[in-house]
Structure 1
């Protein structure tokens, strides 16, 4: 479980770097504010999804005898991504859907890459 914990730590570190870069770009390029705000929402939702997945995987790794693991939190992660998309549709004057989707997939791609690399 230690390699996965290190990979998740790196994922959150790089995700926070991504948040900082997006905030700087939001300040420097206000003409694209809708896209950058969508990226912020997408990265935040992606970080929540990564935290839910890591929590569920950690619990599976800590299984004791006679206790059956319950899953990987797929429904919770779909609900978080759906909430981000719903907020984008509900407030189109604040967020752009392309930014939210890129932010969501950016964190998941980053975490997949780092976990794969840590297991080699």
Structure 2
């Protein structure tokens, strides 16, 4: 199994490309609420992925040292998703709820697509 930090650099690059496309879509189309929802969800998804990678590093280090770790931060990652929903509910004229939910799933889509391409490559 490959190192998660190596895969994370690829995921980060793909997510930043998607964010650039979303910003262009927000700036040049009439679907600004949809693209703002995608941007908000994708930023939240990226933070969730970043947090998971960071906790994985801490878990691996603690395991090698023989220590225990309290949690992998599930509640903080769920709080990010909840915060994104609160922002959308507070500003429904600026953000689209469905696109924000799709944006929250972006990192999982990126991981699945990257796994598919890495599997084909090998």
TM bin (shorter chain)? 0.7 to 0.9
CA distance in 1, matches of 2:24, 2:113: 25
**TM-score, length-scaled by structure 2:** 0.86
Alignment partner of 1:53 is 2:49? no
Point out which structure has higher relative CO (alpha carbons under 8 A, 6+ apart).
Answer: 1
Mapping of residues 16-27 of structure 1, within 5 Å: 16-27=16-27
Q: Using a 3 Å threshold, how does the CA distance of structure 1 residues 7 and 117 change in structure 2: closer, same or farther?
A: farther
Q: Using a 3 Å threshold, how does the CA distance of structure 1 residues 76 and 115 change in structure 2: closer, same or farther?
A: farther
CA distance in 1, matches of 2:108, 2:70: 22
Following TM superposition, by how much is the alpha carbon of 1:55 offset from its aligned partner in structure 2, in angstroms? 0.7
Q: 5+ residue gaps in structure 1?
A: none
Mapping of residues 1-120 of structure 1, within 5 Å: 3-29=3-29, 31-63=30-62, 64-114=64-114
Following TM superposition, by how much is the alpha carbon of 1:115 offset from its aligned partner in structure 2, in angstroms? 6.2
Q: How many pairs are equivalent? A: 119
CA distance in 2, matches of 1:112, 1:84: 23
User: What RMSD in Å do the two structures reach over aligned CA positions?
Assistant: 2.1
Q: 5+ residue gaps in structure 2?
A: none
Contact 1:42 1:101 in 2 (8 A): yes
Deviations 1:56-105 (A, max 9, x none): 11111112444102221110000000000110001101100011111110
Deviations 1:17-39 (A, max 9, x none): 0000011111221x210000000
